[in-house]
Amino acid sequence: MPVLKRSNRRSSRIPFVASIVISGKDSSGKPFRAPGETIDVNVHGAKIRTTANVVAGMEIQVTLAARQRTRAAQVVWESISRNGEFGIELRATADFWGIRFPTESHYQSQDEARQADTQIAVSAQSCPHDVPIAPAEKFRPQPESDFCADFPNMVEASSQRIPVRVTGISTVFAPFEEATVFESEDHKQAVLLLSTMVAVGAKLRIIFPEHDRVIAGRVKRTYKLRQTQKWNVGVELLGV
């Protein structure tokens, strides 16, 4: 196994191309399976390319074909240009990719690794293997863009205020989309000013038009501003 050099990232990322299968349920609740491939990986997740119709915030299963291992994961960002590239974060990280990373402290316990391997059985129940894998289409490689790694620098360069569009479900269960300004508290948390009331714990999709990326966020707090009658929404950024 290659040993990687340390970096300032949450964990080191390296180019690693491997065949994967993405499975889960689409927005209508219909099971799907689709082929894909990794572009680069770290302990906690990967940049992938797939024909699956997934969106930021979606829960999926990722099967690494060569090792016949499956992990639960969440899509944490997507490309606005719909070039088939997505960022995922693994729910359990122990020894999934078969690569030795700089520090073993990144890995979770072996008990958790074994528990995570039972995701294969769970995946079989949530997405039966008789669901055909969608036919592969020719992927459209795009210039490399490490959005998550560059995120802190991007925020600093933008004076911590970035124009975005936000989509989600309101407290009255109505879908919404509105333009606002993204104000960073740090590279993991941000504030959005919304006209729409959202519940704590709700997931939002935050669209960065200038950077061709969509990331997922979870509402951590919310209160109404008297001056503007808008909602100050504190968001935890997922996978950044």
Q: Just give the CATH number of 149-237.
A: 2.30.110.10
pLDDT tens for the 240 residues of the chain, in order: 333 333 334 566 788 888 999 999 887 888 999 999 999 998 889 999 988 888 888 999 999 888 888 999 999 888 877 678 899 999 887 778 887 766 544 444 444 444 544 443 343 334 444 445 454 444 444 444 455 555 656 655 555 688 999 998 888 888 888 999 998 877 788 999 999 999 999 989 898 888 778 888 999 999 988 888 899 999 998 865
Distance between CA atoms of residues 22 and 20, nearest Å: 7
Question: What are the structural domain ranges in the chain?
Answer: 14-144, 149-237
Please name the residue that has the structure tokens 């995120």: 151
Distance between CA atoms of residues 216 and 74, nearest Å: 9
Alpha helix positions (H), the chain: 110-117, 119-126, 147-157
Look at the pTM and tell me if it is higher than 0.85: no
Output the six-digit token pair for 93: 């990280």
Please tell me what DSSP assigns to residue 136.
P
Distance between CA atoms of residues 198 and 238, nearest Å: 17
Q: Which one of 3.30.70.260, 1.10.510.10, 2.40.10.220, 3.40.50.300 gives the CATH number of domain 14-144?
A: 2.40.10.220
